[in-house]
Chain A
């Protein structure tokens, strides 16, 4: 039984870090493949024979049904081998009434004539070449009838908002009374837009069969979930499906599930008895894969004149699709961040006839910090206090709602160090006072917080006769650095050079891990790997002491040391490879696992940070540029300073995007998104980002998991956008509470004053 007490008390090679692999900023394990273009992504894997090409057709209405199907022209089109609609697609397992993203279940494609959202996939054309498939797809003639009533606009359906299933508002004390009585108040509403993940690699699958065994190469974040769900969709045994996802061109939560490319490529390959590959177009990605839903958030803060919060509330209204359940929990983090005796947080959910809503990088915090961290800035101004000091004043000693002790919390230190490094004391607290040519310059800050999670996972380690350690895990690396940190853990645990470690992940035949998401990846996968490594050490040690041919023969197994590929007890030693070559030339394997600790719930465990940013606002045009930005983060022991920093700066840039450029909108007449490609949906480009850096505090959180590490994949985005919004206010004296803060909105605010 896992226990936090045990984790804290038990030494292990990662904590001891004798060889210094842990934390070392080594280059990415798979880096040479990625920089040379030789890492094969899903659409690029070489199948056993030339593949056929599948192209999907998407619905042009949001809500209704298909009334006529004419595929004659498509079928007659040159090179076309197969045209499927709901009328002739193969039978698949039935979709459950509601689905979540952890329980495998069937996701049939082309399942009925019913249209649930604009862009839903409604046909597949497979042809001998990509060009023939594309041309054939354009010839599929479908007629649609849109329902008279369709609910596609958030605003028009607020009155239908309900509590998310199984959830209730969380109230501590008497918020309304305390807020009404508070001498200083903030009461404002913020809006965040629907957002799309825009991973650089569109979803894609290459599939082929060997008898009744299916092999798919695809691009997903969660191996087992996709494998098992695919098997159930195809109504076949799980173990008959081998799912590989070794290189994923970006996930960010958008590939936490899987899509019709996986199902249709598999079905078509079976039908045609040849490999088939199917990819989403970029346009299909925008509607046909999940998105972060929009929110409307009302923040109310009540404080005493000396800055103590007496009342704090963040209420979120958000939306999800008709058949879904996802709630963007923008209010949750507010339960852990600041002290205030009277509190009210909760969510309301509107169901709309829109594409599927789901998790996108830091679900909850990414949206919620955009309101609360600006409200705190507003409060600081009303109080005449420095925003950093206001937050420090309201720093809780333990979890402000549950009273649980923090596992470790260095938010204050992040803020103080960040302020000092950034030159925060040079900020003029009065807005609109600093000019640099055509730019009005301002500084802003915000706090960052993101939950820390640990899920069950397994791993196996094998040592071979060359002394090479192979880590095997059904985990994914979506750019997060999994390959690399697993290699570092293996090298440190078995005392071998990093060059003697191999990492195999992204394969459903390997020991299962939950995948990448919720910034739980490294901690979860790594903890299981550590356990496997420790078990392999034990197995090696026992082998050595019981091998008469080993210099360590007769010694005590628990005294065996592992260093530089050599095992030793005092001055008796031999190379690990020699021991294995003699005894187990076929290799020696040990398994490991991690389970969440039963007592983990006793602590409040998060990652924290502070953002500082300087922006320039062109008050003539409303354009904003980030000039420099710094994040200081406390996220436990860092496995690799280089890759962790990249995750954090990446997250910070996502925050800048949320503040300034990113968002989608629904045309209510059609229930479709207006931005359908990368020219109109604006993620930041290189020129949008000035000097930007992230620093990590030296910290260990021994209560988080056996390694004392936490995640960094999502922490960077939390609070970053709010810091930008606060800097804009400091630069020009206006606040735009409707994200993103585009030039038109800023101009409207500037000219209204």
Chain B
């Protein structure tokens, strides 16, 4: 790693102030993604602001029956929370499908949202990567891109967002709350947090420099159109655990979000609309996949999603009926 200075933030205001005032500063929460990248010098902040011990780990009921999740709540605590398990099981299922027990114990809600791609060409610093080194090209485009995006990619970047948790949050219509260096707080849907790569894949979110995620808010638990609350998370991967997904789907109250298929969690809006209009699951996902494009080695993902989503909807439907 390159040398850096380190401070432990006193409070959230001090953290964002320090981030705004210190050149090349980054927030450090669990560190399970940032430190991974710093060891490879893909990230090289000059200053780390440790926000991991800020009193932002609580998970609280909101007045409308939802849940406010502090950004510093660990993945394990969030997944284990009794309210999440009872009312938002898709979120628990998504979290426990990611990483390992050890990683989930350290990773935070905010950090999980902001984790970066696992694309092999991003990680290999000898290869061209517009995300890591803007303008250098995309090593994956003509490469071994088996696990690249099928939605929303560009010729500049075909990487996927690896989070499972974010996919469930997208399906649950979660909201992200942040604190800006100006001192202002804002909130916006989680689905608007991440960007598609476009021409600037190095810009991964809509956060401004120094903006700190403080909480994720879940609306009241979803009901699907049949009055059940069918939620399901299914992740397909090359081994049974501790591996990136080839494709994942979160279903919650008629909402469908896909993971490992795009630069951000992919709300399958076309499929949702088709379902709401009475289409079969197969027709619905087919509609969504009309926008899908492969990169030479990942066409199987299109087929996989086509099969996975109806199966997940069926699982969710069964769960809903049983509720």
Q: Give chain A's interface residues, CB within 8 Å of chain B.
A: 60, 78, 131, 134-135, 138, 438, 620-623, 625, 660-661, 665, 667, 669-670, 672, 674-677, 679-680, 682, 684-688, 742-744, 747-748, 751
Establish whether residues A621 and B304, one from each chain, have CB atoms under 8 Å apart when the complex forms.
Answer: yes
Would you call the interface of chain A mostly helix, strand, loop, or mixed?
A: loop
Contacts of B244 in A (CB 8 A): 679
Q: A674-B144, A743-B246, A743-B304 are in contact. Are A131 and B1 (CB under 8 A)?
A: yes
B83 interfacial by beta-carbon distance below 8 Å: no
Establish whether residues B239 and A138, one from each chain, have CB atoms under 8 Å apart when the complex forms.
Answer: no
Contacts of A744 in B (CB 8 A): 146, 246, 300-301, 304
Q: A667-B143, A748-B300 are in contact. Are A743 and B236 (CB under 8 A)?
A: yes
Q: A620-B311, A621-B308, A747-B303 are in contact. Are A682 and B238 (CB under 8 A)?
A: yes
B184 interfacial by beta-carbon distance below 8 Å: no
Total residues of chain B contacting the partner, CB 8 A: 32
Establish whether residues A660 and B300, one from each chain, have CB atoms under 8 Å apart when the complex forms.
Answer: no
Closest to B308 in A: A621
Query: Given A680-B118, A743-B304, 10 more contacts at CB 8 Å?
Result: A620-B308, A621-B307, A672-B124, A674-B143, A682-B243, A685-B240, A743-B237, A744-B246, A747-B307, A748-B300
Would you call the interface of chain B mostly helix, strand, loop, or mixed?
A: loop
CA of A310 to CA of B39 in the docked complex: distance in angstroms?
59
CA of A661 to CA of B3 in the docked complex: distance in angstroms?
38
- Min C-beta distance of A286 to chain B, whole Å: 11
Q: Which of B81-118 touch A at CB < 8 Å?
A: 118
- Min C-beta distance of A413 to chain B, whole Å: 33
Contacts of A60 in B (CB 8 A): 126
CA of A686 to CA of B241 in the docked complex: distance in angstroms?
8
Closest to A61 in B: B126
- Min C-beta distance of A658 to chain B, whole Å: 13
Contacts of A685 in B (CB 8 A): 239-243
Q: A620-B311, A675-B120, A744-B146 are in contact. Are A751 and B303 (CB under 8 A)?
A: yes
Establish whether residues B241 and A687, one from each chain, have CB atoms under 8 Å apart when the complex forms.
Answer: yes
Establish whether residues A135 and B240, one from each chain, have CB atoms under 8 Å apart when the complex forms.
Answer: no
> Which residue from A623, A665, A684 sits with its C-beta under 8 Å from B144?
A665
- Min C-beta distance of A618 to chain B, whole Å: 8
B142 interfacial by beta-carbon distance below 8 Å: yes
Name the residue among A621, A684, A742 with the largest chain B CB count within 10 angstroms. Answer: A621
> Which residue from B144, B239, B311 sits with its C-beta under 8 Å from A667?
B144
Contacts of A665 in B (CB 8 A): 144
Establish whether residues B124 and A676, one from each chain, have CB atoms under 8 Å apart when the complex forms.
Answer: yes
CA of A747 to CA of B236 in the docked complex: distance in angstroms?
12
Establish whether residues B120 and A680, one from each chain, have CB atoms under 8 Å apart when the complex forms.
Answer: yes
CA of A40 to CA of B244 in the docked complex: distance in angstroms?
33
17 A-B residue pairs with CB within 8 Å: A135-B3, A138-B2, A623-B236, A660-B239, A679-B244, A682-B243, A685-B242, A685-B243, A686-B241, A687-B240, A687-B242, A742-B238, A743-B300, A744-B304, A747-B307, A748-B300, A751-B303
Contacts of B308 in A (CB 8 A): 620-621
Establish whether residues B1 and A135, one from each chain, have CB atoms under 8 Å apart when the complex forms.
Answer: yes
CA of A748 to CA of B127 in the docked complex: distance in angstroms?
30
Q: A135-B3, A744-B146 are in contact. Are A688 and B240 (CB under 8 A)?
A: yes
Closest to A684 in B: B239
- Min C-beta distance of A25 to chain B, whole Å: 30
CA of A667 to CA of B142 in the docked complex: distance in angstroms?
10
CA of A438 to CA of B236 in the docked complex: distance in angstroms?
13
Contacts of B239 in A (CB 8 A): 660-661, 682, 684-685, 687-688
Contacts of B242 in A (CB 8 A): 685, 687
B41 interfacial by beta-carbon distance below 8 Å: yes
Q: A743-B246, A743-B304 are in contact. Are A674 and B238 (CB under 8 A)?
A: no
- Min C-beta distance of A219 to chain B, whole Å: 22
- Min C-beta distance of A588 to chain B, whole Å: 52
Q: Which of B193-229 touch A at CB < 8 Å?
A: none
CA of A260 to CA of B304 in the docked complex: distance in angstroms?
44
- Min C-beta distance of A101 to chain B, whole Å: 29
Contacts of B3 in A (CB 8 A): 78, 135
- Min C-beta distance of B69 to chain A, whole Å: 27
- Min C-beta distance of A500 to chain B, whole Å: 41
Closest to A281 in B: B39
Contacts of B238 in A (CB 8 A): 661, 682, 742-743
- Min C-beta distance of B241 to chain A, whole Å: 4
Contacts of A623 in B (CB 8 A): 236-237
- Min C-beta distance of A234 to chain B, whole Å: 31
Contacts of B127 in A (CB 8 A): 670, 672
Q: 10 closest Cβ contacts across the A-B interface?
A: A60-B126, A744-B300, A687-B240, A687-B241, A674-B144, A621-B236, A688-B240, A620-B311, A661-B239, A620-B307
- What is the 8 Å Cβ interface bit string for chain B, positions 35-53, against chain A (1 contact, 0 not)? 0000101000000000000
CA of A676 to CA of B124 in the docked complex: distance in angstroms?
8
CA of A682 to CA of B243 in the docked complex: distance in angstroms?
8
